Amino acid sequence: MIDIKPGSDGAAARAAPGTVFEWPVRVYYEDTDAGGIVYYANYLRFFERARTEWLRALGASHTKLEAEDGLLFVVCDLTIKYLKSARLDDQLIIDVRVAEARRASLTLAQTARLAGYDEILVSARVRVATLRRGATRPAPLPKWLLQELN
Amino acid sequence: MIDIKPGSDGAAARAAPGTVFEWPVRVYYEDTDAGGIVYYANYLRFFERARTEWLRALGASHTKLEAEDGLLFVVCDLTIKYLKSARLDDQLIIDVRVAEARRASLTLAQTARLAGYDEILVSARVRVATLRRGATRPAPLPKWLLQELN
Amino acid sequence: MIDIKPGSDGAAARAAPGTVFEWPVRVYYEDTDAGGIVYYANYLRFFERARTEWLRALGASHTKLEAEDGLLFVVCDLTIKYLKSARLDDQLIIDVRVAEARRASLTLAQTARLAGYDEILVSARVRVATLRRGATRPAPLPKWLLQELN
Amino acid sequence: MIDIKPGSDGAAARAAPGTVFEWPVRVYYEDTDAGGIVYYANYLRFFERARTEWLRALGASHTKLEAEDGLLFVVCDLTIKYLKSARLDDQLIIDVRVAEARRASLTLAQTARLAGYDEILVSARVRVATLRRGATRPAPLPKWLLQELN
- pLDDT tens digits for range B139-148: 999 998 988 8
Question: D87 in contact with A at a CB cutoff of 8 Å?
Answer: no
Residue numbers in C near B77 (CB within 8 A): 79-82
In this prediction, residue B136 has a pLDDT band, given cuts at 50, 70 and 90, of confident
List of chain C residues whose C-beta atoms are within 8 Å of the C-beta of residue D29: 48, 52, 62
* pLDDT tens readout for residues B38-96: 999 999 999 999 999 999 999 999 999 999 989 999 999 999 999 999 999 999 999 99
- Average pLDDT of the residues in D71-81: 96
Rounded-to-integer distance, Cα D62 and Cα D85, Å: 30
Average the pLDDT over each of B53-62, D129-138, D140-149 and give the range with the smallest value: D129-138
| Residue C79, pLDDT above cutoff 90 | yes
CATH number of the domain at C118, please.
3.10.129.10
A143 touches B at CB < 8 Å: no
Band (pLDDT 50/70/90 cuts) for residue D16 is low
What gap in Å lies between CA C125 and CA C121, rounded to an integer? 14
Over residues C8-27, mean pLDDT: 67
Q: Is the pLDDT of residue A10 over 50?
A: no
| Residue C8 resides in a domain | no
Report whether pLDDT(B9) > 60: no
pLDDT tens-place string over residues B54-65 = 999 999 999 999
pLDDT of residue A149: 85
Backbone torsion region of residue A81, taken as left when φ is above 0, otherwise alpha when ψ lies between -120 and 50, otherwise beta: beta
Query: What is the pLDDT confidence band of residue C19, given thresholds at 50, 70 and 90?
Result: confident
| Short-list C1, C44, C40, C48, CA closest to C21 | C1
Contact with chain B for residue D77, Cβ under 8 A = no
Q: How far is CA B84 from the centre of its chain?
A: 20
Within 8 A of C5 by CB-CB distance, chain D residues are 5-8
Other chains touching B, judged by 3 or more CB pairs under 8 Å: A, C, D
User: Is residue A8 one of the residues assigned to a domain?
Assistant: no
pLDDT band of residue C1 (cuts 50, 70, 90) is very low
Select from D44, D72, D136 the Cβ nearest to the Cβ of A41: D44
At D11 the pLDDT is 35
pLDDT of residue C17: 52
CB contact under 8 A, C32 and A33: yes
Q: Do A82 and D74 touch (CB under 8 A)?
A: yes
What is the rounded average pLDDT of the residues C68-74?
A: 91
Is A38 inside a domain boundary?
yes
CA distance C83 to chain B (A): 7
CA distance B33 to C77: 18
| Cβ–Cβ gap C63/D8 under 8 Å | no
- C48 CB neighbours in chain D (<8 A) are 28-30
Considering only CB atoms, which chain B residues are within 8 Å of D88? 34
SS3 letters across chain C:
CCCCCCCCCCCCCCCCCCCCEEEEEECCHHHECCCCCECCCHHHHHHHHHHHHHHHHCCCCHHHHHHHHCEEEEEEEEEEEECCCCCCCCEEEEEEEEEEECCCEEEEEEEEEECCCCCEEEEEEEEEEEEECCCCCEECCCHHHHHHHC
Between residues B47 and D144, the one the model is more confident about = B47
User: Residue C3 falls within a domain, yes or no?
Assistant: no
Share above pLDDT 70 across residues of chain A, in percent, rounded to a whole number: 88
- Please determine, for residue C46, whether its predicted confidence score (pLDDT) is greater than 80: yes
| Domain contains D139 | yes
Mean of per-residue pLDDT scores for chain C: 88
Give the confidence band of B14 by pLDDT, cuts at 50, 70, 90.
very low
- Out of D33, D69, D77, D118, the active site residue is D33
Contact D34 B39 (CB under 8 A): no
Give residue A137's pLDDT.
80
Residue A118 annotated among the catalytic residues of the structure: no
Give contacts of D52 with chain C, Cβ < 8 Å.
Answer: 28-29
Inter-chain CB proximity D44 and A48 less than 8 Å? no
Q: Tell whether the model's pLDDT for residue A104 goes beyond 70.
A: yes
pLDDT band, very low/low/confident/very high, at C43 (cuts 50, 70, 90): very high
Pairwise CA distance, residues A71 & A76, whole Å: 15
Task: Look at D29 and B34 and tell me if their CB atoms are within 8 Å.
Answer: yes
Residue D5 lies in a domain: no
* Mean pLDDT, rounded, for D7-36: 75
Torsion angle, alpha carbons of C21, C26, C29, C35, to 10 = 70
Residue D21 pLDDT class (50, 70, 90 cuts): very high
Q: Does residue B15 sit within a domain?
A: no
pLDDT at C39: 98
| Range with lowest mean pLDDT among A67-76, B10-19, D103-112 | B10-19
Contact C131, C122 (CB under 8 A): no
Q: Which residues of B touch A88 (CB under 8 A)?
A: 62-63
- Cα–Cα distance measured from residue B56 to residue D63, given in angstroms and rounded to the nearest whole number: 33
Chain-chain contact of D29 with B35 (C-beta, under 8 angstroms) = yes
Q: C110, C50 in Cβ contact below 8 A?
A: yes
Q: Distance, in angstroms, between D82 CA and closest chain A CA? A: 5
Could you tell me if residue C16 is inside a domain? Answer: no
- Judged by a CB distance cut-off of 8 A, whether residue C35 touches chain A is yes
The predicted complex's ipTM stands at 0.88
Cβ burial C76-95 (10 Å sphere, 16+ → b, else e): bbbebbbeebbebbbbbbbb
| B33-37, C16-20, D140-144: least confidently modelled range | C16-20
From C9, C31, C33, C95, active-site residue: C33
Average of per-residue pLDDT across A20-33: 97
CB pairs under 8 A between A and C: 30
**Closest C-chain CA to A37:** C34
Number of domains in chain D: 1
Whether chain B has a CB inside 8 Å of the CB on D144: the answer is: no
| Residues D88, B39: C-beta atoms closer than 8 Å | no
Of D144 and A33, the one with more pLDDT: A33
**Region at B89 (left for phi over 0; alpha for psi -120 to 50; beta for the rest):** left
Contact D32/B at CB under 8 A: yes
Confidence of residue D17 (pLDDT cuts 50, 70, 90): low
pLDDT for B17 equals 53
What pLDDT, on the 0 to 100 scale, is given for residue B18?
Answer: 62
Give the nearest chain B residue to D31 (CA atoms): B33
